[in-house]
Amino acid sequence: MAHIYDTKNKRLMIDTTTALELVLLHGSVNTNVLEVDLKDGLDYVLAQDVISEIDMPPFRQSAMDGYALHMGDDATYTLVGEVKAGDNNNPTLQKGKAVRIFTGAPVPITANTVVMQEKVTVEGTKITIEEPLKENTNIRPQGEQIKLGGVAINKGTTIKGVHIGFLASLGVTKITVCKKPSIAIIVTGNELKSAGTKLSYGEIYESNGAMLTAVLNELGYQNTSVITIKDDYGKTKKVLNDTIGKHDLVIVTGGVSVGDYDFVGKAFDEIGVEQVFYKVKQKPGKPLYFGKKEGASIFGLPGNPAAALSCFYIYVYPLLKKYEGAEHTSLPSISLPLLSDYSVKGTQAQFLKARIEAAGVTILGGQGSAMVRAFGDANALVCLPVNSTEIKKGQIVKTILLPFK
Ligand code: AMP
Ligand code: MG
């Protein structure tokens, strides 16, 4: 089977930037769209711009409880009526006249300013304004947020609650979105036991399946399934063969390294998965495999849970977003000063669980590939380039923002 990058030779191990570029270049892309009710649109990527069919606000709207005035020459005005939210009356105000008005109510066309009630003294039908007036104060102009025909939300946006709120305010009921991928997670290892059963000596509880399912769910990918397989070459081949082709994305964890019982790489080769790369100059997650077959993208992530999760955020997440046609694929990153010295172990690029504080970012303890606990405290990953050595407090580091923190 042809390898796009023959990284069996260790010297050809690729760097993290190339790895991500190759994922985005070779990863499968969705072409199907569907129309969903706005209320069901959460976490989908918009397939088309949403165009507003109304001005928002639809009329000149009072931003305050107070008085709408037709500005006159002195500070005293005569009250001639009232407009509250939802009213559709539009009293005509002569110069020097006012109406009582409330937040959200339509400002009479003949009024040219609104004064907040705290600045007004009321005596019967006379009001006196206690401060100098300016035209168009406390009035939200018609179409201030968006005009009829304007683009409310751009194609490629991942729909979040706030977008649903904004589109609801425009009266939108349906949106056209990109199909989400169907995802299979395959976890491998003789040592893996399900939670709820008793561990025998040498066994551990399986956690990558539960973790990746939950992390995918958090991101809005519900269409997932988990399959567990033993370290058995024949079974590994069969399960991989049966699974690839039924899913858009297959994520395998474990068994992809160089141990005698790591059968995943060999099985990929045997069943005709086209290898895009295998092994990346990074820590954690050196044994990272990416390949493709029959329209499916296939990741072999490290078995160690923290390494698997780092690789998920750095490589799998961008591909999910690319698949759906999202405008932004990678998680956002910012440059921040490091809050304490850090001495780097190894020469590979590093992705370190970290916590952003007000003044900068702290690299957390517990960076081991198996140690997922620090991820619970982390809200970011600090990225250090290859051959980093002693990083000093105050040095600026690239920091990837993790979702939901
Ligand atoms: P492997 O990549 O298969 O050599 O696994 C590396 C380490 O990750 C080993 O200590 C495995 O026991 C552990 N591991 C592999 N798969 C899982 C999993 N699904 N859940 C928890 N730990 C795992
Ligand atoms: Mg294993």
In this prediction, residue 6 carries a pLDDT of 47
Give yes or no for residue 191 CB within 6 A of ligand 1: yes
In this structure, is residue 214 part of a structural domain? Answer: yes
Residue 87 token pair: 């009213």
Claim to verify: residue 131 and residue 221 sit in the same structural domain: no
Which residue's CA lies nearest to atom 17 of ligand 1? Answer: 303
In this prediction, residue 11 carries a pLDDT of 44
In this prediction, residue 158 carries a pLDDT of 98
Claim to verify: residue 47 and residue 174 sit in the same structural domain: yes
Claim to verify: residue 126 and residue 164 sit in the same structural domain: no
Which residue's CA lies nearest to atom 23 of ligand 1? Answer: 303
Instruction: Give me the DSSP letters along 24-87.
Output: HHHS-----EEEEEGGG-TTPBBSSPEEPSS-BSSS-EE-SSEEEE---SSSEEEEEEEE-TT-
Residue in 200, 204, 257 to alter for ligand 1 test, most ligand atoms within 8 A of Cβ: 204
Give yes or no for residue 368 CB within 6 A of ligand 1: no
**Beta-carbon neighbours within 5 Å of ion ligand 2:** 189, 254-255, 303
The CATH number for 156's domain is 3.90.105.10
Claim to verify: residue 259 and residue 194 sit in the same structural domain: yes
Residues in the chain: 405
In this prediction, residue 1 carries a pLDDT of 42
Range of the domain at 302: 6-32+180-323
Claim to verify: residue 366 and residue 319 sit in the same structural domain: no
Residue in 185, 279, 304, 375 to alter for ligand 1 test, most ligand atoms within 8 A of Cβ: 304
Cα separation, 184 vs 155, in Å, equals 27
Claim to verify: residue 348 and residue 301 sit in the same structural domain: no
The CATH number for 265's domain is 3.40.980.10
CA of 392 to the centre of ligand 2 (A): 37
Residue 157 token pair: 């946006």
> Residue 282: what residue type?
Q
In this structure, is residue 283 part of a structural domain? Answer: yes
Minimum-distance ligand to the CA of 205? 1
> How many other CB atoms are there within 10 angstroms of residue 344's CB atom?
18
Cα separation, 22 vs 17, in Å, equals 9
- Asked whether 266 and 316 are in contact (CB, 8 A), the reply is no
Please identify, among 157, 178, 199, the residue that sits at the C-terminal boundary of a domain: 178
Note the maximum CA span of the chain: 93
Please list the rounded mean pLDDT of every run of 10 residues in the chain (405 residues).
47 88 96 97 98 98 98 97 97 98 98 97 97 97 98 98 98 98 98 97 98 98 97 97 96 95 96 97 96 97 98 98 96 98 94 97 96 96 95 97 88
Contacts of 183 (CB under 8 A, 6+ apart): 216, 221, 223, 224, 225, 247, 248, 249, 250, 251
CA of 189 to the centre of ligand 2 (A): 4
Claim to verify: residue 319 and residue 233 sit in the same structural domain: yes
- Asked whether 280 and 269 are in contact (CB, 8 A), the reply is no
Residue 287 CA: nearest ligand 1 atom is: 2
Claim to verify: residue 161 and residue 272 sit in the same structural domain: no
pTM: 0.93
CA of 293 to the centre of ligand 2 (A): 23
Give yes or no for residue 311 CB within 6 A of ligand 1: no
In this structure, is residue 364 part of a structural domain? Answer: yes
Q: What is the CA radius of gyration of the chain?
A: 30
In this prediction, residue 12 carries a pLDDT of 65
262 burial type by CB count under 10 A (0-12 exposed, 13-18 middle, 19+ buried): buried
- Domains contained in the chain, number: 4
Give yes or no for residue 20 CB within 6 A of ligand 1: no
Claim to verify: residue 157 and residue 184 sit in the same structural domain: no
CA of 353 to the centre of ligand 2 (A): 23
Residue 304 CA: nearest ligand 1 atom is: 8
Give yes or no for residue 303 CB within 6 A of ligand 1: yes
CA of 282 to the centre of ligand 2 (A): 20
